[in-house]
Amino acid sequence: MNAHTTLFVCTTCRAGQAVAEGDVAPGAALAAALSQAGAPDGVRIQPTECLSACTNGCSIALARPGSWTYVYGRLTQADVSDILTGAAAYAQSEDGIVPWRARPTIFRKQSIARIPPLELS
Amino acid sequence: MNAHTTLFVCTTCRAGQAVAEGDVAPGAALAAALSQAGAPDGVRIQPTECLSACTNGCSIALARPGSWTYVYGRLTQADVSDILTGAAAYAQSEDGIVPWRARPTIFRKQSIARIPPLELS
């Protein structure tokens, strides 16, 4: 567990809704709620413009050099606590793979994709 | 463009089909077809067990240290040539972001997710 974990949060996500000018997009609201709740140890929250998972918004990704990357979707502000619990478990894992039973339900059921660690050679 | 590009191909993908015992899963067949066609310069094809994009199979991911990661889905063996063309363009890009017009149609329309480069600090 050398490097920090990054929790990317798509801020442009409209979650399939029409967002009136001046209103906060659901993705930006989720990012703000996560930041306000506070990142767990070893996790940095990084608001990001478009994770290209628009049909599954709101979406987040958990990544760390040398570990598996996970992308989750169909998230709302009701999921803030579970997202942060899952991010903490990811940060504490060896390789990004959290034992199935230790994953929040949203992480078990709302996976969009995962990507293996990159070899740096 | 220091490091090589990895083209992950999900080999366990059944693409929503029932696969009889002994038959080759669509994902494994796609991986074999890509390997047979040959990886472009700077690209390594890495067959992978489960990219967790099962509802959008067959799926692939393009990744390189310091670059954006892209995940694409709903691919078939008919897409082998376009996948390799897109992988070559990715490998030649600075940061993994290929100009929109230079992307194969499957990469424009079948994105599952993209993940920003990781800061290694």
User: Which tens digit of pLDDT belongs to each residue from A71-108?
Assistant: 999 999 999 999 999 999 999 999 999 999 999 999 99
Q: Does B78 contact chain A (CB < 8 Å)? A: no
Do the chains contact at B116 and A8, CB–CB below 8 Å? yes
- Say what the ipTM of the complex is: 0.88
Confidence of residue B1 (pLDDT cuts 50, 70, 90): very low
Order the strands of the B60-63 sheet from edge to edge: B43-48, B5-10, B60-63, B69-72, B111-115
Q: Is the pTM value of this prediction over 0.80? A: yes
What is the pLDDT at residue A1?
A: 47
Q: Does A52 touch chain B (CB under 8 A)?
A: yes
Average pLDDT over residues B60-72: 95
Residue A4, helix vs strand vs coil: coil
- Give B50 to chain A, closest Cα distance, Å: 8
What is the per-residue pLDDT across A11-60, written as a single tens digit (0 to 9) for each? Answer: 988 777 777 878 888 999 999 999 999 999 999 999 999 888 888 889 99
User: For B41, phi and psi rounded to 5 degrees?
Assistant: -55, 135
Query: Inter-chain contact A115–B65, Cβ cutoff 8 Å?
Result: no
